[in-house]
Amino acid sequence: MTYQLYNRTGSGGFAVESALVLAGAPFELVDLGSKPGTPLPDEFRKTNPWGQVPTLILPDGSTMTECAAILIHLAACFPEKNLAPLPGSSEHAAFLRWTIFSSVNVYESILRRGYPFRFTSDPEAIEATQTAAIVRLSEAVAVLEDTIVAGPFLLGPSLSVADPYIAMLFLWSRVKIETPRLTALADGVRQHPIVGPVWRRHFGDR
């Protein structure tokens, strides 16, 4: 039973790859061989009609997309690996809340800043779209920063699959606000004995 992960170096599949490695799950990494921000091969749309990575082929041959959904699914598939808190607990509710928050608000703002043409058909609104995205991104990152109380990770001392995801988004955010807690979270991900090597392969020393 092997997973197949379609991604490209430096893209969002870092978080999914981290989850698979943490789970000890057998998987094949299919590197699409292009840089983030450049078009993916047209042939890839046969695998994912939306044409985005990461795309995960499950052992039964079905396809999963959407990074946050994949992380939640993998945590449920490997409960013995403690990739997320126990379902039904208040800690699991927080895990779900902030994983989805990061996807809907942080990731969305990053995409709106980088790809404003996807969010407006008015060429004169491109700059305003980017400016609004930057403001919203800073606000969302500030909310995450205030959420981390115990640290160093989102939910306390133990790393969950939400942490590589949040660390990746924090790297991409480039916000100009004070974020000591998120900085500590990202440092913990970089230094993690299992996830750290995956981080360095995708993002180097950043």
DSSP, collapsed to helix, strand or coil, labels residue 117 as helix
Answer for the pair 185, 166: CB distance below 8 angstroms, yes or no.
yes
Give CA–CA dist 56/30, Å, rounded: 10
Q: What is the CATH number of the domain that holds 56?
A: 3.40.30.10
pLDDT, tens digit (0-9, with 9 covering 90-100), for 129-179: 999 999 999 999 999 999 999 989 999 999 999 999 999 999 999 999 999
Q: What is the CATH number of the domain that holds 196?
A: 1.20.1050.10
Supply the range of the domain harboring residue 136.
90-201
Kind plus residue range of the DSSP H or E element containing 6: strand 3-7
For residues 58 and 33, state if they share a domain.
Answer: yes
Residue 206 domain-assigned? no
* Other beta carbons within 10 Å of 59: 13
Mean pLDDT of the 42-59 span: 93
